[in-house]
Amino acid sequence: MKLAARLIGGALAAAVMAAPAFAADPIKIALVHGTSGASFDVYSKQSETGFEMGLEYATKGTMEVNGHKIELIHKDTQFKPDVARAVLAEAYGDDDALIAVGGTSSGVTKGMLPIAKEYKRILLVEPAVADSLTGPDSNRYVFKTSRNSSMDMQAQALALKPGKDLHVATLAQDYAFGRDGIKAFKAALKGTGATVVDEEYAPIKTTDFTAAAERMFNALKDKPGRKVILIYWAGGGDPLGKIAAMDPGRYGIKLSTGGNILPALAAYKAVPGMEGATYYYYEDAKNPINDWLVKEHEKRFGTPPDFFTAGGMAAALAVVKAIETAKTLDTEGLIKAMEGMSWETPKGKMTFRKEDHQALQSMYAFKIKVDPNVKWAIPELTRVITPDEMNIPIGRHDQ
């Protein structure tokens, strides 16, 4: 939908869009991700593959729920906030999508939140991470199946066993994902006695980490006790491998980071024994849904399911559960069904928190194992970190 048309007809469109679907109507779901324009596009493709496989699993291959055929609409945000807003409005308005799922970049997705409110339609956030996506600038039409920065960082803090002897320097990308993540990490350390001695932020496309690494080395090298550089990074650049190559061990400094997609885990072979926490690794979750996903993904694609494949499937399973249980198949009916809803996923049970619509879920602490017969480093499970171990802040309080 063009901008002029949106400005003229927004209120009328919102009223029409909120109308319930009739028995024979298809349910249109828009997948609104960046599939061109950035290295993050691999996350989008995994997410959309997982979503399609999740629909297949949940509907036993019929692609039909309660007599309604599911129709998928694909939209490319190009990783540009203005394009993302335009294609989401187009999905709700011109395409009549009941639900949209996306996006990939946290910064881009944040710009999509007001469009969901304008059209009074559900936006299910997957796989973007930042806490702010369910924060004060969010709204009641936004739900989030992806984990958030607080989950990443509380799990990471638990994996590091923080105490007075722990000193940390951090490296993150200079946008919503990175800054929300480090803010959450510092909050997770509060009261433990651990100290963050340096924070480094770099542009998303940074490939040379020499200057930032030297500043972190200088901040840590003379500290007593345990010294750790925490890296919170998405996409390319390989900061973990490049900083490991600079030999932080000569200062007694260890590296730590969260999990990642399988190709990126190849760089983790440089840090055997490294401890951290992850959202998903296909060998960690033990349940029938994950068993099916692993078997089918390997059969179809020749590889195990990856980080964001599991997230996409979790989102699809949430959508099907909501449609199956909603008393009315419109926005208000879906909101009532989804608030407080629990459902099973490849990671086990997730629950949409009523207050801010963030899905609470388990995380996985790991220790890196290197097997020469495996292309990537293995984040070997040390323990499951359950939702009740994490105190995830409520982001949005209005109803």
DSSP string, 86-113: HHHHHHHTTS--SEEEE-SSHHHHHTTH
Q: Is 395 contained in some domain?
A: no
**pLDDT for the residue 22:** 53
Contact 29, 71 (CB under 8 A): yes
Is 233 part of a structural domain of the chain?
yes
CA distance 101 to 363: 22
Confidence of residue 398 (pLDDT cuts 50, 70, 90): low
| Residue 396 is assigned to a structural domain of this protein | no
Are 177 and 35 members of one domain? no
User: pLDDT value at position 24?
Assistant: 67
**C-alpha span between 328 and 22 (Å, rounded):** 10
Same-domain check for residues 253 and 341: no
Q: Could you tell me the pTM of the whole model?
A: 0.89
Contact 259, 307 (CB under 8 A): yes
Residue 37 sits in the same domain as residue 115:
yes
Residues 322-343: what's their mean pLDDT?
Answer: 97
Q: Is 4 exposed, middle or buried (0-12, 13-18, 19+ CB in 10 A)?
A: exposed
Pair type for strands 166-173 and 226-232: parallel
Task: Please tell me whether residues 340 and 268 are part of one structural domain.
Answer: no
If asked whether residues 238 and 131 sit together in one domain, one would say no
Reported confidence tier of residue 139, pLDDT bands at 50, 70, 90:
very high
Asked whether residue 220 falls in the same domain as residue 244, the answer is: yes
Q: Is residue 394 part of a domain?
A: no
Task: Assess if residue 116 is contained within a domain.
Answer: yes
Q: What single-letter amino acid sits at 345?
A: T
With residue 292 as reference, give the H or E element that holds it: helix 288-301
383 domain-assigned: yes
Classified as helix, coil or strand, 255 is strand
Parent domain of 265:
150-278+364-389
Instruction: Check whether residue 214 and residue 293 sit in a common domain.
Output: no
337-365 tens-digit pLDDT: 999 999 999 999 999 999 999 999 999 99
Domain count, the chain: 2
Residues 125 and 261 in one domain: no
Question: Are residues 139 and 15 both part of a single domain?
Answer: yes
19 Cβ partners below 8 Å, 6+ apart? 330
- Considering the domain architecture, whether residues 265 and 383 belong to the same structural domain is answered as yes
Rounded to the nearest integer, the mean pLDDT of the chain is 93
Would residue 397 count as lying in a domain?
A: no
Q: What is the CATH number of the domain that holds 368?
A: 3.40.50.2300
- Quick one: average pLDDT of 245-253? 97
Residues 250 and 372 in one domain: yes
Please compute the mean of the pLDDT values over residues 122-138 and round it to a whole number. 95
Ranges assigned E (strand) in the chain: 27-33, 64-65, 68-76, 99-102, 122-125, 142-144, 166-173, 195-202, 226-232, 253-257, 275-278, 342-345, 348-352, 359-360, 363-369, 378-385
pLDDT band at 5 (very low <50, low <70, confident <90, very high): very low
Q: Which helix (H) or strand (E) holds 294?
A: helix 288-301
Q: Under a CB-based contact definition with an 8 Å cutoff, are residues 157 and 228 in contact?
A: no
Task: Report whether 108 contacts 84 (CB < 8 A).
Answer: yes
Residue tagged 């009549």 (tokens) = 96
Judge whether 398 lies within some domain. no
Please indicate, yes or no, whether residues 135 and 247 belong to a single structural domain of this protein. no
